Structure 1
Amino acid sequence: MGILKGQITDESGHAIASASITLLKTALGTKSDSTGHYVIMGMPLGKYEMKISSVGYVSSAIEIFMVGDTSVRHDIVLKRMDNEVLNEVVITGTMREVSRLESPIPVEVFTPNYFKKNPTPSLFDAVAMINGVKPQLNCNVCNTDDIHINGMEGPYTLILIDGMPIVSALPTVYGLSGIPNSMVERLEVVKGPASSLYGSEAMGGIINVITKNPLNAPLISTDVLGTTWGELSVDAGAKFQLGRTTSLLGLNYYNFQRKIDHNHDNFTDMTLQNRISVFNKWNIARKERRSASLAARYVYEDRWGGEMSWNKSFRGSDEVYGESIYTKRAEVIGLYQWPMVEKVFTQFSYNWHNQNSWYGNTPYRATQQVAFVQTYWDKAIGAEHHFLLGAAMRYTVYDDNTPATASADGIKNAPSKTPLPGLFVQDEWEMNKKNSLLLGYRYDHDKNHGHVHSPRIAYKFSPNSHHTIRASFGTGFRVVNLFTEDHAALTGAREVVIAEALNPERSYNSNLNYIWRIPTDQFFLGFDITGFYSYFTNKLVGDFDTDPNQIIYDNLHGHAVSRGISWNTDLTFQFPLKLLAGITFMDVYQKEAQEDEGYVKVRQLHAPKWSGTFTASYELPKRYTIDLSGQWDGPMRLPIQPNDYRPEYSPWFCIANIQLTKKFKNGVELYGGVKNLFNFVPKYPLMRPFDPFDQYVDDPVQNPNGYTFDTEYNYASLQGIRGFFGIRYQILRK
C-alpha cells in the first residue's frame, strides 16, 4: 500500500482549499485542506487516473503510478476559468501590467474561449456577447456598423491593438472585422472615459485587443466555420523561430457570396463580402528580458449590398441601386524597451486606410493615414507609489472627395492634417493593503481648438478578497472628424448639412463599481455591479427628423446624459455547469434648447433602456460540451420620417444560439449548432425600396407623405435562423 500526497495551487502559487481529488474508477478520493495540501492513504499498487477540480478553475487530470509501499508526491497547478472575476493581469486601465483585482480602474477581460461559446467570423460580431457593448448596424444595405458602449455611439469607442490607438475614425467600421482570432490573447474592456491616458475618442469606452506573445502561442492553430447561409470563415495561425526572434503569423478569411432576399423587398438581406486579413507579429529576445516587438497587418475587403439584379457593371450608375465598398488597410505596431536601469518604453504605430465606395450613384473615396508615437517612464517610488510619465504625438492626414477636405473657396482640394501632441502623468498610491488611489492628468493641444485638459481620479477599497469597491471621476474630449465617422451621411439619399463650425465635445464622467465574490464548496458566485453617469457638452448630433432628405449636424445647444447601471453575474457549480448573465439599464438622452419651449428631452437613437446577455455551459461525458448563449434588447428609438407608418420604437427581442462541441485528445474540436433560434428578423428594413433613387418621390398621388428611400431604420441583423458547423485543430508544441 502507498501514500499519495501533494499541494494544489493556482498559477500565482496561492493555495487552493477544498479542491476535489478523485481517483477515477475507484472509491478513493479526498479534498485539499486550507493550505491546499491533500493526502490519500492506503493506495494499492497500480496505475490510476487522478482528476483534480475546484470551483472557478479548469479541471486537470494526470496519470499516477504506485509501484510499492512508498510515498508519491504530486503538486498540481490549476488554471483559473475563462472570464472568472478573479485575478487576471490587465493593462488597459492604467497602461501597465497589474492584477485585475488590484487595478483601481474596473476592467473586464474576455478570452477567445469565451467567444467560442458562440463562434463568429470576426471579433466585431463576437463582442455582442459582452454586457453593455452593442455592435450597431448603421445601414441595412451595406451593413456598415460600429460599437456602442453604454449607449454611446461608435465614435466614442476607442479600439486599441496592444495598447495602440490604431483603429479610429474612418476605419472604425471595419477595424475589428479583420483581426485573426488566432492572434488574440484576450480583450480588455473599459466602460467609461479614459481620455487622461489615451486622449481623444476615448470618451465612451475602450476595447483593447491584446495579441498573443509568439513565445506562448500554439505551434499551429486552425478554425474553419461555415453556415447554412453559405458563409465561410477560415482562421489560421502558425509560429516559427529565426534565431532570437519568434514570429506568429495569422490569417483570417471570410467569404459570403449568396444573394438572399427572404423579406422579398428586392434587396439583399445581408451584404455580400470577401475579406482577407494577414497579421504577423515578431518578438525579439533581449538581455534582461527587455521587451521588443513588431507587428504588421494588411486587410482587404470587397463588400456590396443592393438590388438583387445588381452587379459590378452597375457600380456608380443610377440604373440599379447598389452600395459597393472596396477597403484596403495596412498597419505597423511596435514596442521597444530602452536599455537602461529605468523602465522606459516607446510605442509606435502607423496605419494607412483607403476606401473606394459608391452609395448608389454617390461616390465616396477617402484615404486616411495616422502616425502615432509615445514614450513613457514607468517608475516605482518606494513600496507605495507607482508613477507613470509620458509624451505622445498623433498625426492624422485625411483626404476625401467631399466638401470636408475642400479649400475655403471650394475650388481646390485641401486634405486635413491634424497634429495632436499630448503629455500625461499618473500616480497610483497604495495607501495600504485595503486602500489605493489613482490620480491622472493629460494635456493635449489641438491646432483648431487649443488647450485640452483631461484630469481623472480613481479610488479602490478592498476590505478582503471577497469585496472590492471602486469609484472614479474624470473628463474626456473628442476632436470631431465628421465624414470619417458617420457612414449614415453617405447611405440612402440624404443630403449632409453642417449647421456651423463644430466645436470639440467635452464630457464629465463618474462611475461606482462593486465586486462581490462568494466561494463555497458547492459553487462560486460572483457579482459585478457598476453605476455610471456621463454629462456631455458640445455633443455632436445628427438631426434625422427635421427634414427627411437631410442629416443636419450641429453641436448640441444644451447637454446630453448617459446614465445607468449594469449587473454581471457568474455562477460556477462543483458539477460541470457554468452560468453567466448580464443586465444593463441605461437612460441616454439629450436636452436641447428650443424656442419658446425651454429644454426638450430626446432619447438617444439605438440606445435601449434595457439590454442583456447570457451564456450557459454544461460539460457532458466523453468530452462533449453544450453552450446556450444570447443577447436581448428592449425597445430602442429609431430614425423615422414625418408621418411614418413604422413604429418609432423597436420591439423587445432576443437572439439566442445553441452549440454542441466535441473535443478529441489529438487536439481536434468539432462544433456545430443553430444561430437565432427564435428566427427573429426586423420588419420594415427599407423605406420605398422600389424607388431607391427617389425618382418618383414628388408624386402626390403615389407618395402623399413625401417618404424617401431610407436605409437607417434598423435594430438587428436580417439574418434569420441558420445552422453552423466548424472544426478546430491545435498543435501546442513540437
Structure 2
Amino acid sequence: MCTRFIFPAFLLLTGNTYASAPVADTAGLQKVQQLNSIDVHAHYYKKTDDLIDIKKIAAPTLVIDAKTIQRMGSRRLDEVLREQAGMAVVSDLGAGNRSIGIQMQGFSSAYVLVLLNGLPLSGRFNENFDISRISVQHIERIEIIKGASSSLYGSEALGGVINIITRQHVHKPGAGLSALYGTYNTADISAFAETPFAHKKGTVHLSADYYRTDGFNVNTEYLKDGQTAPPYHSFSGQTRASLQLNDRNTLQLSARAASRNSTMTRSYGTQPFRDQLDETDVNAALSLRTNLNEYTRLLTRYYFTHYGTDQDVQIIETGKLLQENKFSQQIQRLEIQGNRLFHDGRLNLTGGMGGELLHMRNSTMAGTPDQQNYFGYMQANFTPNRKYGLIAGLRYDGNSLYGGKLNPTAGVEYTPFRWWQLKGSVGQGFKAPTYAQSYQVFTNITQGYTVVGANTFHTAVEDLKKAGLVQSVWSNAASVKALEAETAVSWNLGSRFTIKEGYTLSVNGFYNNIRHLINTEQVGIMRNGQQLFSYLNLGKAYTTGLEASLELNPLPGLKLTGGYQYLVAKSRDVEDSIRNSAGAYGKVRSDQGIRSATTSDYFGLPNRSRHMATMQVYYTFRPWALQTSLRASYRSKYGFLDIDNNGYIDNYDIFVKGYTLLYLSIQKSLLKEKLMVKFSIDNISNYTDYLMPAQPGRVFMGGVSYRFGAREK
C-alpha cells in the first residue's frame, strides 16, 4: 500500500518536467515563502539535513536559536525547555529520577518525538526520552512542533516534535573552549573546532562536552542517606561534515557518541542499596543532497543509532545482587526525500518514503521480536496570493507487529492585513505500542512492583502462578489483551498580531482527542504484597486549552517575552463513569467517607498543571558588552498520587503545590568578543519540594569561554 501510494508521486517530484522553464524570480519566491511562514520566532535559518521546512508545517511551531540559549546560560536541553510556555519538565520516579521528560499540550514524554538533525534519537527509559542527556553546547537552534505531526514525522509524534539542529554552517576556521563550575560540584567543560576545506567546498565541525554533578537530596526527612537525583558524569562528542562533490551533489556526514554513568545510593531506614546505571548512545548518518534544477531537490540518507544500558542494584553491606537489567536498542533507517516547486513557488510539494529495522534485547524480556517500520508521506503547500495559504498532507506508517495507519493533515492561513494572521490546522497522529508495553516481564525490587506486558500477560502470569509468586489476579485482568495502536486528532486555531516591528502577540487554542489510550493499571497482587501491573487500551482521553505568547522590544537592547498556557487534560472514560454513577470510577473517598463521585471531584490526568506561565527579560548593554537575563516560570498545582486507589486524581489525593522558579544570567564579553565571562543562578528563591525529587535547590554556576579565530557574525 505504501509503495503504490508514494511512488507515482515521487516520479512527479523528481521528474524533469520544468527543466527548460525560465529561472524563477528569486525575490518573488522569497516573498511567497515569507507569506507561508507560520513559525513564531524572528530568526530562521536554512537547514541542510532534511527537506522538511518548519515554516510550512500546519501545526503551531516555535524556534529557539543559539543566541537565546546562550543568554539563558543553560547547559542541558531540559534547562532550555523548562522555560518555554506550555512545556513542563517531569521526572520519571520509576527510573530513579534519571529520566527527565517533557510534556507538550498535555501529552507526556512518551508521545513527544525527539530528533537530532532531523533523525530520531533512540533510548527511552520507562518510555520517557531523557532530554537531560543532551548538551546544548554548539546547538544552532531547536525547532519545536506542537500537536499531532504524523503527516511528515510519523509514529511517536502524537504530542509533538523537538528537532535539535547542531552547528551546520561554517565559513571560517575557528575553535573554542568553555568551562563552568558550580553548586553540587557541577562541572561542564566543552570544546569545538571547525574549518572549511577544499577551497570552501567542504566544511567540518567537531565538538565534545564533559559534564558531572554530585547529585542532591531534597527528601532528607525520609531518605536518610543518598540522593533523590543521582550523581553522574557524562561525555559526548559529535561531528558534522559536508563536501560539495559537484554543482548538483553534496555529501553530508554526522555522528554522535555519548556515555553516562551514575551510581545512586539510598536508605529508607532499612538496608542501604546501590543502584548503578551505565548508558551508551551512538548514532551516525550519511546523506547525499542533490539539486536536480532550480525546482527539484532530493535527499537520500542512511541512519544508524544504538542505545544501551547496564543496570544492577545490590545491597551495600552484603553485595547481594537484587536486580540486573541489560538493555539495548538499534535502529537502521533508509529514507529518500524530495521537494518540488511549481507555478513560481506558489505550490510546494514535499514527500518521502523509507523503512526502519528495529532490534531490541532486554534481559528482563524473553524472545522480543524485531520490528520493521515502513512509511511514505506527501505534503502540499499552496499559496495562491499573499492573503491565503493552504496545507494538505498524508502519511502512511506501517509496523510489522501492529499494522499500519494512514494519517492526514490539513491547514489554512489567512492574512487579511500585514499585522494580522489567522491560521488553523487539523492533524492525525499514530503511535504503536512499545516493546515494554507489549512484552515486558519486569520486577522493580527497589520500588516494589511487577509489570507484565499485555501481549504476553496471560502466559507470563500463569508461569508466575506456577512459581508461587502471585497472590491474586483481579477481575480487570480479563480485559488485558494484545494492544492496539494509539491515535490522536489535533485541532489548532491561532491568531498572530504584529503591532509593530518587535511587538508580537500570538494566541492559539488547541484540542487533542486521543483514542485507544494505553494506560498502566494494577491488575493483581504478588505473594510478597507487591503490586502487579499491566497495560490496557482504555479508549478515550483529551487535552484542550489555550496558549498565548508576547514579545516586546521597547528599547534598544531590551527584549521582553512572556507566555501562558491553560490546560485541561482528562479521561473521557473517567468522566462517563462519574456521570453515570457506575463503573470503576464512580466512587471517591472524601473527608466524610466513600461516596458517589461528581464531575467536580475529578481534577484530571496526573502531572498536568491547569495554569503555566513564563516571563523573560533580556538586556544587552553594548558599551560594556554586557548581557543579562532574568526569567521566571510558574506552574499551578498538579496531581501526584492517587492515594484512594479509585483510578484517577480527585481533589482528595496528593498534589504538588503551585510554585514559581526564578533564574538569572550575566555574561560579559572581553578581548573583542573572544573571551566571555559567565555567571548564573538557577532557582534564586531556593524552592524545593520532596514531591519534586529532581528539582534542585539554588544553583550557582560561573565560568569562561574563549574563541580562537575570527568570530562569525
Q: TM-score, normalised by structure 1?
A: 0.76
Deviation at 1:641? 3.7
Query: For each residue in 1:120-145, what CA deviation from the matched residue of structure 2 results, as whole angstroms up to 9, or x when unmatched?
Result: 33123221121112221112844322
Q: 2:686 aligns with which of 670, 679, 682?
A: 679
Q: 1:110·1:187 contact (CA, 8 Å) conserved in 2? A: yes
Deviation at 1:332? 0.4
Aligned letter for 1:639?
L
* Residue 726 (1) aligns with residue 703 (2): yes
* Residue 353 (1) aligns with residue 312 (2): no
Partners of 1:442 and 1:154 lie apart in 2 by: 22
| Inter-CA distance 447–104: structure 2 relative to 1 (3 Å threshold) | closer
User: In structure 2, what is the equivalent of residue 460 of structure 1?
Assistant: 413
* Residue 667 (1) aligns with residue 674 (2): yes
| Inter-CA distance 668–434: structure 2 relative to 1 (3 Å threshold) | same
Deviation at 1:178? 4.3
Partners of 2:520 and 2:48 lie apart in 1 by: 31
Query: For each residue in 1:643-663, what CA deviation from the matched residue of structure 2 results, as whole angstroms up to 9, or x when unmatched?
Result: 999961111101111122211
Q: Secondary structure at the match of 1:155?
A: helix
Partners of 2:606 and 2:642 lie apart in 1 by: 10
Q: Secondary structure at the match of 2:73?
A: coil
Q: 2:100·2:132 contact (CA, 8 Å) conserved in 1? A: no
Deviation at 1:346? 1.1
Aligned letter for 2:338?
W
* Residue 444 (1) aligns with residue 405 (2): no
Partners of 1:253 and 1:728 lie apart in 2 by: 14
User: In structure 2, what is the equivalent of residue 362 of structure 1?
Assistant: 323
Q: Secondary structure at the match of 1:130?
A: coil
Partners of 1:473 and 1:433 lie apart in 2 by: 22
Q: 2:183·2:700 contact (CA, 8 Å) conserved in 1? A: yes
Aligned letter for 2:702?
F
Partners of 1:440 and 1:668 lie apart in 2 by: 47
User: In structure 2, what is the equivalent of residue 204 of structure 1?
Assistant: 159
Q: 2:419·2:498 contact (CA, 8 Å) conserved in 1? A: yes
Partners of 1:224 and 1:488 lie apart in 2 by: 41
User: In structure 2, what is the equivalent of residue 284 of structure 1?
Assistant: 243
User: In structure 2, what is the equivalent of residue 389 of structure 1?
Assistant: 351
Q: 2:505 aligns with which of 515, 524, 527?
A: 527
Q: Secondary structure at the match of 1:539?
A: strand
Aligned letter for 1:272?
P
Q: 1:591·1:599 contact (CA, 8 Å) conserved in 2? A: no
Deviation at 1:639? 2.3
Q: 1:545·1:641 contact (CA, 8 Å) conserved in 2? A: no
- Equivalent runs, 1:71-220 vs 2, <5 Å: 85-86=41-42, 88-89=44-45, 95-97=51-53, 100=55, 104-139=58-93, 141-167=96-122, 169=124, 173=128, 176-216=131-171, 219-220=174-175
Partners of 1:475 and 1:90 lie apart in 2 by: 27
Q: CA RMSD in A?
A: 3.3
Deviation at 1:550? 2.8
Deviation at 1:435? 0.6
Structure 2 gap ranges (5+):
1-25, 29-38, 315-321, 455-479, 586-601
Aligned letter for 2:327?
A
Aligned letter for 2:668?
K
Q: 1:166·1:350 contact (CA, 8 Å) conserved in 2? A: no
Structure 1 gap ranges (5+):
1-11, 15-82, 311-317, 407-413, 684-713
Deviation at 1:148? 1.3
Q: 2:123·2:308 contact (CA, 8 Å) conserved in 1? A: no
Aligned letter for 1:275?
S
Higher Rg of the two aligned structures: 1
Q: 2:493 aligns with which of 488, 500, 512?
A: 512
* Residue 597 (1) aligns with residue 582 (2): yes
* Residue 298 (1) aligns with residue 298 (2): no
Q: 1:469 aligns with which of 414, 417, 422?
A: 422
> More displaced, 175-184 or 611-620?
175-184
Q: 1:158·1:167 contact (CA, 8 Å) conserved in 2? A: no
Q: Secondary structure at the match of 2:81?
A: helix
Deviation at 1:627? 1.2
Aligned letter for 1:191?
K
Q: Secondary structure at the match of 2:401?
A: coil
| Inter-CA distance 283–175: structure 2 relative to 1 (3 Å threshold) | farther
Q: 2:212 aligns with which of 220, 242, 255?
A: 255
Partners of 2:676 and 2:40 lie apart in 1 by: 23
Aligned letter for 1:280?
T
Aligned letter for 1:680?
Y
| Inter-CA distance 237–477: structure 2 relative to 1 (3 Å threshold) | same
| Inter-CA distance 321–118: structure 2 relative to 1 (3 Å threshold) | farther
Deviation at 1:715? 3.7
| Inter-CA distance 300–103: structure 2 relative to 1 (3 Å threshold) | closer
- Equivalent runs, 1:280-429 vs 2, <5 Å: 280-288=239-247, 290-307=249-266, 319-338=271-290, 340-341=292-293, 342-359=296-313, 361-383=322-344, 384-403=346-365, 406=366, 414-429=367-382
Q: 2:411·2:424 contact (CA, 8 Å) conserved in 1? A: yes
Aligned letter for 1:728?
S
Partners of 1:84 and 1:487 lie apart in 2 by: 44
> More displaced, 614-623 or 322-331?
614-623
Q: 1:223·1:236 contact (CA, 8 Å) conserved in 2? A: yes
Q: TM-score, normalised by structure 2?
A: 0.78
Deviation at 1:535? 0.6
Deviation at 1:588? 0.8
Query: For each residue in 1:300-332, what CA deviation from the matched residue of structure 2 results, as whole angstroms up to 9, or x when unmatched?
Result: 11012232799xxxxxxx952232210011100
| Inter-CA distance 561–91: structure 2 relative to 1 (3 Å threshold) | farther
Larger helix proportion, structure 1 or 2? 2
Partners of 1:401 and 1:89 lie apart in 2 by: 44
Aligned letter for 1:539?
L
Deviation at 1:460? 1.1
User: In structure 2, what is the equivalent of residue 231 of structure 1?
Assistant: 186
- Equivalent runs, 1:559-578 vs 2, <5 Å: 559-578=540-559
| Inter-CA distance 575–674: structure 2 relative to 1 (3 Å threshold) | same
Partners of 1:461 and 1:94 lie apart in 2 by: 27
Residue-pair matches, total? 604
> More displaced, 656-665 or 203-212?
656-665
Partners of 2:554 and 2:523 lie apart in 1 by: 51
Partners of 1:93 and 1:472 lie apart in 2 by: 26
Partners of 1:609 and 1:259 lie apart in 2 by: 29
Partners of 1:602 and 1:399 lie apart in 2 by: 39
Aligned letter for 1:320?
P
Partners of 1:150 and 1:328 lie apart in 2 by: 30
Query: For each residue in 1:443-499, what CA deviation from the matched residue of structure 2 results, as whole angstroms up to 9, or x when unmatched?
Result: 122222223110110111122332221111111110111528999985611211443
Deviation at 1:731? 3.4
Q: Secondary structure at the match of 1:125?
A: helix
Query: For each residue in 1:96-123, what CA deviation from the matched residue of structure 2 results, as whole angstroms up to 9, or x when unmatched?
Result: 347x4x6654321001221233323312
| Inter-CA distance 90–173: structure 2 relative to 1 (3 Å threshold) | farther
* Residue 622 (1) aligns with residue 633 (2): no
Q: Secondary structure at the match of 1:483?
A: helix
Partners of 1:168 and 1:440 lie apart in 2 by: 29
Percent identity (aligned): 17
